[in-house]
Amino acid sequence: MSDPALPRRPTLDLRAFTPARVALGRSGASVPTKALLDFTLDHARARDAVHAAFDASRLAADLGALGLAVTGVRSQAVDRKDYLRRPDLGRRLDPSSAEILARVAPAPCRLALVIGDGLSAAAVHAHAAALVSRLLPRLAEGDDVAIDHAVVASGARVALGDEIGALLGARMALMLIGERPGLSAPDSLGAYLTFAPKPGRSDAERNCVSNIHHAGLSYDEAAFKIAWLVREGLARQVSGVALKDESADRAPRRIGAALPE
């Protein structure tokens, strides 16, 4: 028997195509109890993701297992409360971290890989190392954009990758970072690419591959898109609005498999 609280088709059919809150039904002047409880749970998960602690050592170990040398840095945000109240502090390195990068910086590189906690450390813990494992061989194909070093940044906003990339002498910076949690995806990872990174770059000068998580973009699909944007950005010496993502035109009919459970 159908639930009388739920709307009739065709509205109900929309629920098969989106995790968004559509066709919830109603109970009197409000939503059904189950819909309210589901919303409360998802809201709690999103809040927990924002405040979760970042385990930089664990991530560094995972990246080390992939053969990458890892340098840990942090922004000028001294703690999580500072990070959330002062977004500007998350966009600049603290002085000691800048000195560390200046000392360990190898010869100028084509691509600097930076992984930051962002607004969801849970996303980074769940997806960053697995995505990098798929990305490294794709970058090594053809033009050989080899990566042997990664920077793990705590208290990071997207623009922190610009300063890190500049200190490393990189032609392009790739920032993997936890995205702002939503009610349907508290652990979504984003990838931001900036050609000729330096402090002061605007969001219009970046390309973004977003929604990398279990119900979103798979690791293989994301790695394909990122590798395409890296190669085209380096070849054309642009990123952002000047670089349109045309990777779908060259993608194989089926890119990899779904994310593992």
pLDDT tens track for 183-234: 778 899 999 999 999 999 999 999 999 999 988 899 999 999 999 999 999 9
Residue 158 annotated as part of some ligand binding site: yes
Query: Could you tell me if 194 and 161 are in contact, meaning their C-beta atoms sit under 8 angstroms apart?
Result: yes
Task: Name the nearest CA neighbour of 172 among 112, 229, 115.
Answer: 112
Tell me whether residue 40 is exposed, middle or buried, using C-beta atoms within 10 angstroms of its C-beta: 0 to 12, 13 to 18, 19 or more. exposed
Three-class DSSP labels, 58-79? HHHHHHHCCCCEEEEEEECCCC
- State the pLDDT confidence band at 30, using cuts at 50, 70 and 90: confident
Say if domain 51-249 classifies as CATH 3.40.50.11240.
Answer: yes
Query: Could you tell me if 234 and 192 are in contact, meaning their C-beta atoms sit under 8 angstroms apart?
Result: no
User: What's the one-letter identity of residue 120?
Assistant: S
Average pLDDT, the chain: 87
Using DSSP's 3-state secondary structure scheme, residue 53 falls into coil
Domain boundaries along the sequence of the chain: 51-249
Pairing of strands 149-154, 172-178: unpaired
DSSP state of 145: -
Q: What is the mean pLDDT of residues 112-139?
A: 95
Residue 208 annotated as part of some ligand binding site: yes
Q: What is the mean pLDDT of residues 102-131?
A: 91
